[in-house]
Amino acid sequence: MTQNATEKRVLAAIGQRRELINDGIDVDLPLADPERLYEATRYILEAGGKRLRPTATLLVGEALADTDPSELDYRAFPTVTGGEVDLMAAAVSIEVIQSFTLIHDDIMDDDDLRRGVKSVHNQYDTSTAILAGDTLYSKAFEIMADVGGKPENTLEAMRLLSSTCTKICEGQSLDVAFESRDDLTPEEYLEMVERKTAVLYGAAVAIPAVLLDADQEIVDAMYQYGIESGKAFQIQDDVLDLTVPSEELGKQRGSDLIENKETLITLHARQQGVDVDGLLSQSTIESVTEDEIDAAVEKLEDAGSIEYAREMAEDLTAQSKERLNALPDNEASDLLADLADYLISRGY
C-alpha cells in the first residue's frame, strides 16, 4: 500500500471517531460553575486538534474486542473477560491531560499561538491559564476514576496516568534545562523526548488494554508500541522541519536551526564535528533565504545526521508495529499499524 493510501485510511479512521470524541468531551467536561474557568478549560479543546491519542485509545479497545465495530458502544464497551467499561471516558481523559500540558507548556515557552488561535494565557491571562490547566489535570483523573469495570484495573489505569504526568513534567524540565547545556548527547535528548512526548502515547494505548482486562503482555506490548511510535513521531518532526517546504510545513523550514533549538540531528552533527552553531548564525526567521537553508541542510546531510534521525524514526516505527502482533489481527490493529506509519509521514 502506498504512503498516500495509508494516510487516507488513517485520516478516515480519525475522522470517523473525532465527532464521537468531541461529543464525549462535551459530556465528560461540561461547562460547570465558575463558567469563565470552564470556558478556559474548553478553549483549546474546542480550537481543534486531530484527537490522535484518544483515537488510538479507541482503536486498541476495538482491536481487543475483535468484533464488528458497528456493534460496539464506547460507553459500555466489552472487556475481554466479559465485563463492561466506559472506553470513551478513558479516551477523553487522555485528551484532557494532553490539553492541560499544552496550556501550561505555552505559558512556560511563552507561545502566543496554539492550533491557530491565541494560547490560553494570551486569550485570558496567566492566572486563568494556570488554573485552567490545573482543573483539566484533576478532571482527567475524575473522568478516569469513573470508567467502571474492575476496580483494580481502574486503579492501575490511574496509577499509569499519574506516573505518565510525572514523566511529562520531568521531560519538560529536562527540555528547559537542556537549553543551557552545551554537552548534550543524543541519548539524553532521546530520554527527554520519551518523557516529554512519548509516554502519553504509551498511556493512551496501554490504558485501554488495562481497562479491558487484557493480559499483562498485551498491556506491556501496547505501552511499548506507544513509546516507540511516539518517539519516532518526535524525531521525524525534527527531520520534517528541515526537509519539507515551508508552505507544506505551515512555518519557516529550518526554524529549529535558526532558533538554535537542539535536535537529534544537530546533536549527531556536533558529534561528527559539524559547526552547528555556525550554520545559520547570521539568520533570523524573517531574513533567512531558501539558499541559506539548503546550504545548512546539505552540511547536515553530508554528516549523515538527517539520515541518522530518519533511520532511527523508521526503525522505531518498525519496532512499534511488531508490538501489534500481541493484538488480534483485525481492521483496528491494522489501523494502529497505519497510525504508526502516518506519524512519521505527516505531510505538514
> Which residues are near its own copies by CB under 8 A?
32-34, 36-37, 104, 107-108, 126-128, 130-131, 133-135, 137-139, 141-142, 145-146, 150-152, 154-155, 158-159, 161-166, 169-170, 172-174, 176-177
CB atoms within 10 A of CB 9: 18
For residue 256, how far is the Cα from the chain centroid? 19
In angstroms, how far apart are the furthest CA atoms of the chain? 64
Instruction: Pick between residue 50 and residue 159 the one whose CB is nearest to its own copies.
Output: 159
Shortest distance, position 210 Cβ to its own copies, whole Å: 13
φ/ψ (deg, to 5) at 298: -60, -40
- Taking the C-alpha atoms of residue 102 and residue 118, their distance in angstroms, rounded to an integer, is 12
φ/ψ (deg, to 5) at 114: -155, 125
Instruction: Pick between residue 197 and residue 305 the one whose CB is nearest to its own copies.
Output: 197
3-state secondary structure of 130: helix
Shortest distance, position 344 Cβ to its own copies, whole Å: 28
Shortest distance, position 323 Cβ to its own copies, whole Å: 25
- Taking the C-alpha atoms of residue 34 and residue 303, their distance in angstroms, rounded to an integer, is 56
φ/ψ (deg, to 5) at 334: -60, -40
- Taking the C-alpha atoms of residue 272 and residue 199, their distance in angstroms, rounded to an integer, is 30
264 within 8 A of 238, measured Cβ to Cβ: yes
Instruction: Pick between residue 102 and residue 324 the one whose CB is nearest to its own copies.
Output: 102
Shortest distance, position 174 Cβ to its own copies, whole Å: 5
Question: Cis before residue 34, ω within 30 degrees of 0?
Answer: yes
Give the torsion sign (CA, 334, 339, 341, 345): positive
Instruction: Pick between residue 165 and residue 297 the one whose CB is nearest to its own copies.
Output: 165
Instruction: Pick between residue 31 and residue 295 the one whose CB is nearest to its own copies.
Output: 31
Shortest distance, position 41 Cβ to its own copies, whole Å: 9
Instruction: Pick between residue 88 and residue 161 the one whose CB is nearest to its own copies.
Output: 161
Shortest distance, position 139 Cβ to its own copies, whole Å: 6
